[in-house]
Amino acid sequence: MGATKESSNGNILRERIGATNGHANGNGHAHLNGINNKSDSPTKNAYPKPRLAGWTPPNFTIKEVRDAIPAHCFERSVITSMYYVFRDLIMVAAMGYAATHIDSLPVAARYICWPIYWFFQGAVLTGLWVLAHECGHQAFSDYRWFNNVVGLIIHSALMVPYHSWKITHAGHHKSNAHMDKDAVYIPKLRSDYGFPLPETSENEDEDDYAMGEAFEASPIKNLLDMLKVLLFGWPTYLTTNAWGPKSKAGASHFNPASVLFEARQYNQIVESDFGILVALCCISYAIYVFGFITVGKYYFVPYICVNWWLIMITYLQHTDPTIPHYREGEWNFLRGALSTLDRNFGFLDHFFHHIADTHIAHHLFSTMPHYHAEEATEALKKVLGPYYRKDNTNPFVAMYHSWDNCRFVEDTVYIDAPHRADIDADEANFIGLKDFNGAAARAWYTFEKLDNDHESYVGFDKSLGLIKQTWDTKGPFVGILGFSQGSTMAAVASNAGLSGCKFVICFSGYRPRDPAVVKYVDDVNGMPSMHVIGRADSVVSNERTLELAKCFENAKVLYHDSGHLVPTGPERTEIREWIEQTLSSA
C-alpha cells in the first residue's frame, strides 16, 4: 500500500514507493500489495518450494563474471563457425541421400527408418537453426554483414523471418524475466484466467490449492495441450506474438508495420519476408517436381521436428517452479540473465550446439560463440555459486512437470488513496518529488488538530473501507505493507478483519493520535509485523515508529541509515527473508 507522508507543518505530501515479494513496481500511486512468495503459482502437484539464492540480488557484478571467463572464450572465428555450418549441411545431405533408399525397404523397415530419419534430421536442422540464431546475436563472426547473410539464408530455409525474429529476440535478452517487458514466456497473472477467486479457508492446504483445482486436468489432457503447443507453438508465436507482452498481443513478425518494430527497421522486415518468399517458391517448385508427399517426408516432417525442439528447449529454459520473474524496480539485467537454467538434453546437446546446457552463459554474454560456451560455463560457475542452476531431469519429464505446475504469478494491486492533498511545488521539492508537475497528491486522510496529543483523521473511514473492499474483491492477499501515513493505514487494516492476512510491514509508520483510530492498534495484535526505521528520519521520529511497533506482539524492527524513505540497499534482502520465513511458518 502506497503512502503519503506528513511534513512538519501538518500538510499531507505524496511519496512514491513500490515493493512486493521480490517483484516491485514504483508507479507513483498509493497501492495495496498482495504478496505471494512464489515465482509461478503451482497447482496441487507442485514442486517443493526451495529456498533460492536467485530470489535475492547477487553480490557480484557482471564484470566479475566476465573476468572469471578466459578471454579467448569471447573470440569469434569465421572459419570455426563455418565449419559447423558445413558439418551440419553435410549431415543433412547425407541423411537426405540415405532416406532415398528407405522406400525400397520392406514395409516394416520403412515404419522404423522414416521416424529415425525425421528425428535425426530434425535434430541437425535444429542445430543449423541455432547457428543462424548466433548470426542474429553477432556471435558467428566479427563481420555483421556476413553474419546477417548467413543467418538470413539459414533461417529463411527454416521459415523463420531472420531480421524480424532477431529484433524481438534481442528484446528478450535485454529484458529476460521482466514481467512486463520480456518478449516471450511472460507468465500469466491470476487475474488473466477470469475465474472466481478461491475463498479463504481455515485449512491452509485448501487455501493454498483451491486455485489449483481450477487447473485440475488428467495427464492425458495435459499431454494433449502440450502436444498442441509443441507442434504449433512456434508458428503461432511468429504470427500472433503468443506468450509476449499484452501490449503487443496479436502482433505478427511478418508485418513491417507491426508494433513489434520501429519505423527504422521497416526495410529489415521486408527483407526477412522476401527471404521467406524465396524459400516458399523453392518449396513449391520441389512439390511441383517431386510431389507433396515426397517433400513432406523429406522436409515438412523434419521442419515440424525443428519447431518441436525449439519450443521444448526455450520453454524449459524459461519456465520452471524455481525460476523467478521480476517486476519493475526489482528487475535488472543481471538478475534477469540469471533467471534461466541449463538443461541436459543428453547426446542431443551436441546436435543443438549446446544451446540448452549452456544457456546461462548465453544470456550473460550473447555474443559468445557456442563452441566456447562449455568452457565459459565451467568458469562462471565459480563466481555464480548458488545462482547457477542446472537441471539434469529428462527434458520430457521436466516439460510435463513445468507445464503442470507453472500456471500464473500473483497480481500486485495498486489503489490510489481516495483523498486529494494539494501541495505546492516547494513542498514537493522538500520531499524529493523531482517529477512533480502540479498534479494533486493523494492522501489516506487529512489532519485536524484537537490538542497537543490528539488529532482527528478526516476521511479515515472512507480509506479503511476502500482498503477492505479492495482486499475482498481483488484478493486473495497474504500481506499488506505501507509507507509513512500509508503504513499507519496498513497497521490499522491488519487488525480490522483482513481475512487471510499473514503479515504487515510498516516503513516509517507511526501510532495514530486519533482516539477513534488508535483503538485498532491498541487492541492486542498478534499479526507478525516488521517496522522499518530510518535513523536519519526527520519527518516521523524513531520514537513514534517504535510506539507503533509496540502495538504488535510479534514485531521485528529493522533500522537503516537513511531518512524518510523505503530503503533500496541490503535491507531489502532481510525484508524478503523475513517474508519467506513468516509465510513458511504461518
More confident residue, 52 or 466: 466
pLDDT of residue 78: 98
pLDDT of residue 42: 33
531 DSSP β-pair partners = 506, 557
> Burial of 178 by CB count in 10 Å (0-12 exposed, 13-18 middle, 19+ buried)?
buried
Q: Return d(Cα 156, Cα 275) in angstroms, integer.
A: 5
Q: Residues 494-503: what's their mean pLDDT?
A: 86
Alpha helices in 137-265 (DSSP H): 144-157, 162-174, 204-214, 219-240
pLDDT of residue 547: 92
Does residue 464 have a pLDDT over 80?
yes
Q: Return d(Cα 280, Cα 523) in angstroms, integer.
A: 74
pLDDT of residue 573: 82
Does residue 434 have a pLDDT over 60?
no
pLDDT band at 11, cuts 50/70/90?
very low
Q: Return d(Cα 436, Cα 119) in angstroms, integer.
A: 61
Q: Return d(Cα 520, Cα 460) in angstroms, integer.
A: 12
Report which of 372, 395, 310, 380 is spatially closest to residue 338, judged by C-alpha positions: 380
In tens, the pLDDT along 314-365 reads: 999 999 988 888 888 778 999 999 999 999 999 999 999 999 999 999 999 9
pLDDT of residue 40: 39
pLDDT band at 441, cuts 50/70/90?
low
Q: Return d(Cα 464, Cα 458) in angstroms, integer.
A: 12
User: Would you list the DSSP string of 262-306?
Assistant: -GGGHHHHHHHHHHHHHHHHHHHHHHHHH-HHHHIIIIIHHHHHH
In tens, the pLDDT along 405-430 reads: 888 887 766 667 888 776 666 655 55
Treating both helix axes as pointing N-terminal to C-terminal, what angle do 485-494 and 515-522 enclose, rounded to 10 degrees?
A: 60
pLDDT of residue 427: 58
- The domain limits of the chain are 3-38+411-585, 76-190+229-405
User: Would you list the DSSP string of 414-434?
Assistant: ----SEEE---HHHHHHTT-T
pLDDT of residue 426: 62
Contact indicator for 362, 341 with CB cutoff of 8 Å: no
Q: Number of helices (H) and strands (E) in the chain: give both, helices first.
A: 21, 12
Question: Is the torsion defined by CA of 315, 20, 579, 583 positive or negative?
Answer: negative
In tens, the pLDDT along 530-582 reads: 999 999 998 899 999 999 999 998 899 999 999 988 887 788 888 988 988 88
Does residue 380 have a pLDDT over 70?
yes
CATH architecture of the domain covering 3-38+411-585: 3-Layer(aba) Sandwich (3.40)
Per the structure block, which three cell numbers stand in for 358? Answer: 549452456
In tens, the pLDDT along 200-245 reads: 334 444 444 444 554 556 788 889 999 999 999 999 999 999 999 9
Task: Report helix, strand or coil for 190.
Answer: helix
User: Would you list the DSSP string of 314-336?
Assistant: HHHHH--TT---B-TTT--HHHH
> Burial of 581 by CB count in 10 Å (0-12 exposed, 13-18 middle, 19+ buried)?
middle
Report which of 361, 399, 445, 300 is spatially closest to residue 5, judged by C-alpha positions: 445
Q: Return d(Cα 515, Cα 456) in angstroms, integer.
A: 8
Number of C-beta neighbours around residue 189 at 10 A: 15
Q: Which helix (H) or strand (E) holds 368?
A: none
Per the structure block, which three cell numbers stand in for 341? Answer: 537454467
Lowest mean pLDDT among 110-114, 165-169, 373-377, 398-402: 398-402
Task: Report helix, strand or coil for 249.
Answer: coil
Q: Which helix (H) or strand (E) holds 241?
A: none
> Burial of 168 by CB count in 10 Å (0-12 exposed, 13-18 middle, 19+ buried)?
buried
Amino acid, single-letter form, for residue 359: H
Residue 183: HSE in the Cβ half-sphere, 13 Å Cα cutoff: 21
Report which of 246, 468, 326 is spatially closest to residue 20, judged by C-alpha positions: 326
Task: Report helix, strand or coil for 578.
Answer: helix
